[in-house]
Amino acid sequence: MKKVIALIVVMSLVVMALFLLQKPTEKKSSQITVAVSTFALYDIVKHIGGENVRVEMVIPFGVEVHSFEPTPKTIMKIQKSDRFFYSGANLEPWVKKLAQSKNMRDMSHHVKLIEVGEHEHEHVEGEHHHELYDPHYWLSISNMQKLNIEITSELMTLDPKHKDVYLKNSEKYLDKLTKLQRLFAQKLQDCKVREVVMHHNTLAYVASTYNFEVLSLTGLSPDALADAKTMTILSDRIKKQGISTIFFEAFVSDKMMQNLAKENGVHLDYIEPLANITATQADANMSYVQGMQSNLIKLSEAMQCR
């Protein structure tokens, strides 16, 4: 009899263990899995999806986006995801090497892009040749609003059961972006200096919207090297315009900008590009809105805005 009781107890424990092991697996499998290439996209999916969506950065936090190359593990993560949202506009050239699949979405098709070169400030929408356009479009708040709407639609298609949740979260996120937009318009309206000097031009979209000019050492590429002529031109503009602060971007070496700042006796600060953030910032749950608010404070001070 004791052997029978002991057997029953053991079987009960086994059944309970199997139940406990299966429970988190069932919860995990009920979530949508979304992979993204940039922090800006990560922030949108995180806020809209909530607990119903598992969002994964394929470019690890703390890694510079322009120089990233995917590993086999990264490619597998993309292939297994329900959706892979990537920035496009030639920001991630490695995507072209991947086998294209139905889960991949180039988000640059849903925003307004700035053409580089002679027509730098011309806005276009729809079909385009990506190498002709500035890829830093997420720094345009209106583009973030467009991305929010598109991603919300994608999530509702994948998971119609939680459609109302996604719509509610989308409205909240749009409200935050609208308030941020108003704050930028207010703070950058009346400024003594209408030029910003930085390492590479990540702020063309902000400058185009709020009517100031960006002068950069290396154009759109953070890896390009500045020549002596460019350094001289920037030094002259710094003195002529009374610029007191120049900027470099997170994840980019500040060595050249340190030299430029030292030569001209100006302050050096950094701008959040928000293509990615550090692991520490991610642990602190930093948001796109917080990053842009930080940028606004620094820009308004550098431009001597009232």
Give pLDDT tens digits for 141-184: 999 999 999 999 999 999 999 999 999 999 999 999 999 999 99
Q: For position 67, what pLDDT does the model report? A: 85
Q: For position 27, what pLDDT does the model report? A: 42
Q: What average pLDDT does the structure give for the chain?
A: 87
Q: For position 221, what pLDDT does the model report? A: 57
Terminal Cα distance for the chain, rounded:
88
Q: pLDDT band for position 58 (50/70/90)?
A: very high
Token reading at 80: 């297994």
- pLDDT higher than 70, residue 28: no
- pLDDT higher than 80, residue 115: yes
Q: For position 251, what pLDDT does the model report? A: 81
Question: For 13-41, what is the mean pLDDT?
Answer: 67
- pLDDT higher than 60, residue 193: yes
Question: For 252-262, what is the mean pLDDT?
Answer: 89
How far is Cα 207 from Cα 169, in angstroms, rounded to an integer? 29
**Distances in Å between the alpha carbon of 39 and those of 3, 122, 248, 285?**
59, 26, 19, 12
Distance of CA 68 to the CA centre of its chain: 14
Domains 29-111+137-184 and 189-302 equal at CATH topology level = yes
| Domain parsing of the chain, residue ranges | 29-111+137-184, 189-302
The predicted-structure confidence for 272-288, as pLDDT tens digits, reads as follows: 999 999 999 999 999 99
Q: For position 120, what pLDDT does the model report? A: 43
Question: For 278-302, what is the mean pLDDT?
Answer: 97
How far is Cα 84 from Cα 148, in angstroms, rounded to an integer? 15
User: Which residue in 273, 26, 46 sits closest to 152, CA to CA?
Assistant: 46
How far is Cα 158 from Cα 153, in angstroms, rounded to an integer? 9
Contact 159, 119 (CB under 8 A): no
Residues 6+ apart with CB under 8 A from 89: 108, 113, 130, 133, 134, 135, 137
Query: What single-letter DSSP state applies at residue 110?
Result: G
**φ and ψ at residue 188, rounded to 5 degrees:** -100, 15
Query: What single-letter DSSP state applies at residue 129?
Result: -
Residue type, 54: R
Least confident of 36-40, 119-123, 238-242, 299-303: 119-123
Q: For position 4, what pLDDT does the model report? A: 43
The predicted-structure confidence for 220-249, as pLDDT tens digits, reads as follows: 655 556 678 888 999 999 999 999 999 998
Q: For position 228, what pLDDT does the model report? A: 82
Q: pLDDT band for position 116 (50/70/90)?
A: confident
Residue type, 224: A
How far is Cα 25 from Cα 147, in angstroms, rounded to an integer? 31
- pLDDT higher than 50, residue 129: no
Task: Report the topology of domain 189-302.
Answer: Rossmann fold (3.40.50)
User: Which residue in 202, 248, 208 sits closest to 40, CA to CA?
Assistant: 202
Contact 87, 111 (CB under 8 A): no
Q: Beta strand pairing status for 123-125 and 112-114?
A: antiparallel
Question: For 199-204, what is the mean pLDDT?
Answer: 90
How far is Cα 262 from Cα 15, in angstroms, rounded to an integer? 70
Coil/strand/helix, residue 115: strand
Question: For 193-220, what is the mean pLDDT?
Answer: 91
Q: For position 282, what pLDDT does the model report? A: 96
- pLDDT higher than 60, residue 24: no
Q: Give the number of other Cβ atoms within 10 Å of residue 280's Cβ.
A: 10
CATH (residue range 29-111+137-184): 3.40.50.1980
Q: For position 253, what pLDDT does the model report? A: 80
For CA atoms 197, 203, 207, 213, give the dihedral sign: positive
